[in-house]
Each structure stands twice: as C-alpha cells, then as structure tokens.
Amino acid sequence: MRTIPDSIVVGIGKGGSCKTTLATQLSGIWASEGKRVLLADLDMQASATKVVGLDPDQHGAGRHLMDSIMYGDDLVTVKARDNLDVIVAGRHTKTLSNHLVTASGPAEAFALPFEKLMASGRFDRIVFDLPPSGSSRLADMAMQTGKYLLVPTSAGVDNIDGLRVLAGELDELESEILLLGVVLMKISAGATRMRADAQRDVAQILAGVADPFQTIIREAGAAYDDSRKAGLFLHEYAEWASTISVRNQIQGRIKIPTNLSDLAREFYSLADEVDDRIALAERLLEGRQ
Ligand SMILES: Nc1ncnc2c1ncn2[C@@H]1O[C@H](COP(=O)(O)OP(=O)(O)OP(=O)(O)O)[C@@H](O)[C@H]1O
Ligand SMILES: [Mg+2]
C-alpha cells in the first residue's frame, strides 16, 4: 500500500463535524508560520476552497484534480496566501469520485499526482479536507493513502458513539494511516464538566491508539462567522481586530466578539500540539526502519 508523504487527512465524521474548519484553520496557521502547505479540497461542496477565499468556478471547479488523476496532467495548484496553495474542488470533484468507483487501481491513481508534487519539493505538508463519511470514493482513497489522520468531534452521546464506530473502522481499514488524535470542537468554554467528560470518553475509546489533544476548541459561532464574512482565517481576523482602537470598540463602531482572541489562541496551541505529535510519530517511524 502506498502512502503520500507528509499528508494529513482531516476526516471521518458526519456533515458539520468541523472537518473543514479544522483543515483550513490549521493550514492557515502552519502557512503563516512558514511551512509550505498544500490544502487539498476533496469535497464537491468546495467548502475549504471558499473558506480560503477562492471561487471554485473561477478556478476549474475541481477540474485540476480530475484531469490529473484521469488523464495524467500535472496537478494545478492555486495560490491562496503566502505559503498556502489549494487544490480547488467543485462540480468536477463528483465526476472524479464516480470515476474512481470503477477505475482499476484507484488508490494508486489517486496518490500519484500528490506523490509527484511532494517529490518536486514545493510543499512541506499536504492537508486533505474530506467530505462527510460514506459520501465519496475520494474520501476512501485519501484514507487509504494518507499518512496521518486527524479527527474532529463534538461532545454528546451521538458524537462519542460515532467515535466508537471509528475505532472499529480503523482496525478494519486496509490502510496504514496513523491516527494523530481526536480534536474536541465546539464545546462551550464554561462547560467544565462536559469538557472533562468528553476528554475522558475520548481517551477511553481510543486507549492504545491515540491520546486526546489537550486543546479543546471552544464554541464561538459568532466569532467564527465574523471571520468568514471578513474572508479571513481566524488568526488573521484576530490580528486585525487587535489593531482596532479601544475608542472605536467602545463606541460600538466596530464590534469584535469577546471570545475571538481565545478561539484564535486555541487554534494556535492545537497547531503546535499536532506538530509535536507529527514530530514524535516521525521519530518512531524512523526507529522502526
Ligand atoms: N468554534 C466554533 N463554534 C461554533 N460553531 C463553529 C465553530 N467553528 C465552526 N463552527 C460552525 O460549525 C459548522 C460546521 O463546520 P464545517 O464546515 O467545518 O463542518 P464539516 O465537518 O466540514 O461539514 P461537511 O461534512 O458538510 O463538510 C459551520 O457552520 C461553522 O460555522
Ligand atoms: Mg467540510
């Protein structure tokens, strides 16, 4: 089985579990810190493409990845920020997914363009944003050929049950993908007991596979929506907000959500934790060779 070097798959999880939020915000932070990141949008809804501020239809609507996998063209990437390029998704992403259902050697065909890009030395890291579980062949291919897996989840019985299924699936999956950890998302900052319970449940379910991340991303829908409306990553929006004078804020001319800087800080500390786990995994994998 082949593995795409330095690839992080953000996935497994129903619609709205924050896969795209996690994939895009981490990509943005890593790029701002100097890592050359390729964000690969594998969802025909093109949410990640839109979060970084690109219009899918103006950039091929998924044609680049389709042409590369189906016809062997060089994979086209679109620049979104310094150090951040995107594989744009869109309506052609669905055509590609359907093609892979009947293609022979689909995992190899999927992995090849990404392997070539990584071999070119243009990028340090690929982040895959997956569509909802079970909805696309592209998600299966990324799970089979990705190196690391990052899973977002919220608290609550249904979500935690979903993790149990995940733990079972990971056992059965024909894949060498390594679970870096589960990220608890959208949990109220004040819900101390819920936070502790969720962290304990995740630790139990994934015992022996991966530890939960210490960082929990708080519920802060308004702050998140504001950053989206501004067309900025959370860390960019928080930086801009810090330049707004107190006078303007007090007089209500510009309203900054109070929890914005906390939310941005949490994504920074999560990005560091993920980096640490990747570094640890790399050391362990090297030791095995
Ligand atoms: N910290 C937060 N607090 C509250 N809501 C949030 C937060 N971050 C993101 N959201 C909201 O959560 C929702 C789900 O986000 P997202 O698009 O990342 O999910 P997804 O798993 O990628 O969904 P899909 O499976 O459809 O691709 C969005 O509506 C977003 O506005
Ligand atoms: Mg999504």
Cβ–Cβ under 8 Å, residues 73 and 67: yes
Q: What angle do CA 265, 268, 271 make, to 5 degrees?
A: 150
Asked if residue 77 has pLDDT above 80, the reply is yes
Asked if residue 171 has pLDDT above 90, the reply is no
Q: Distance, CA 185 to ligand 1 centroid (Å)?
A: 9
Closest-approaching ligand to the CA atom of 221: 1
Mean pLDDT of 74-81: 97
Which pLDDT score, from 0 to 100, does residue 40 have? 98
Question: What's the pLDDT band for 281 if we cut at 50, 70, 90?
Answer: very high
Which of the pair, 205 or 36, is modelled with greater confidence?
A: 36
The token pair that represents 141 in the structure block: 């291919």
Question: What's the pLDDT band for 286 if we cut at 50, 70, 90?
Answer: confident
Which pLDDT score, from 0 to 100, does residue 253 have? 67
pLDDT in tens, 140-163: 999 999 999 999 988 777 777 777
Ligand 1: does its nearest atom lie under 6 Å from the Cβ of 72?
A: no
Q: Return the CA Rg of the chain.
A: 19
Q: What angle do CA 89, 93, 95 make, to 5 degrees?
A: 160
Closest-approaching ligand to the CA atom of 22: 1
Q: Which of the listed residues 17, 21, 267 should we mutate to test ligand 1's pocket, taking the one with most ligand atoms within 8 A of CB?
A: 21
Cβ–Cβ under 8 Å, residues 255 and 213: no
- Bridge partners of 40, per DSSP, are 87, 128
Residue 86 phi, psi (nearest 5): -130, 140
Ligand 1: does its nearest atom lie under 6 Å from the Cβ of 219?
A: yes
Which of 241, 215, 216 is CA-nearest to residue 226? Answer: 241
Ligand 1 atom closest to the Cα of residue 14 is 25
Which of 18, 16, 7 is CA-nearest to residue 267? Answer: 18
Asked if residue 73 has pLDDT above 70, the reply is yes
CB atoms closer than 10 angstroms to residue 281: 16
Q: Distance, CA 45 to ligand 2 centroid (Å)?
A: 8
Tell me the domain boundaries of the chain.
7-219
pLDDT in tens, 99-117: 999 999 999 999 999 999 9
Ligand 1: does its nearest atom lie under 6 Å from the Cβ of 220?
A: yes
Question: What's the pLDDT band for 206 if we cut at 50, 70, 90?
Answer: confident
Report the nearest-CA residue for atom 29 of ligand 1. Answer: 16
Mean pLDDT of 30-47: 98
Q: If DSSP states are collapsed to H, E and C, what string results for the chain?
A: CCCCCCEEEECCCCCCCCHHHHHHHHHHHHHHCCCCEEEEECCCCCHHHHHCCCCHHHHHHHHHHHHHHHHCCCCCCEEEECCEEEECCCHHHHHHHHHHHHCCCHHHHHHHHHHHHHHCCCCCEEEEECCCCCCCHHHHHHHHHCCEEEEEECCCHHHHHHHHHHHHHHHHCCCCCEEEEEEECCECCCCHHHHHHHHHHHHHHCCCCCCCCCCCCECCHHHHHHHHHCCCCHHHHHHHHCCCCHHHHHCCCCCCCCCHHHHHHHHHHHHHHHHHHHHHHHHHHHHHC
Which pLDDT score, from 0 to 100, does residue 157 have? 75
Ligand 1: does its nearest atom lie under 6 Å from the Cβ of 47?
A: yes
Asked if residue 289 has pLDDT above 70, the reply is no
Ligand 1 atom closest to the Cα of residue 132 is 25
- Sheet containing 178-184: which strands, arranged edge to edge? 78-81, 84-87, 37-41, 125-129, 7-10, 148-153, 178-184
Task: Note the CATH number of domain 7-219.
Answer: 3.40.50.300
Question: What's the pLDDT band for 26 if we cut at 50, 70, 90?
Answer: very high
Least confident of 50-64, 102-116, 130-144: 130-144
Mean pLDDT of the chain: 91
- Report the percentage of the chain scoring pLDDT > 90: 72
Ligand 1: does its nearest atom lie under 6 Å from the Cβ of 18?
A: yes
Rounded Cα gap, residues 137 and 15, in angstroms: 16
Ligand 1: does its nearest atom lie under 6 Å from the Cβ of 186?
A: yes
CA-to-CA separations, 30 to 58, 184, 198, 266, in angstroms, rounded: 26, 20, 27, 14
Report the nearest-CA residue for atom 15 of ligand 1. Answer: 18
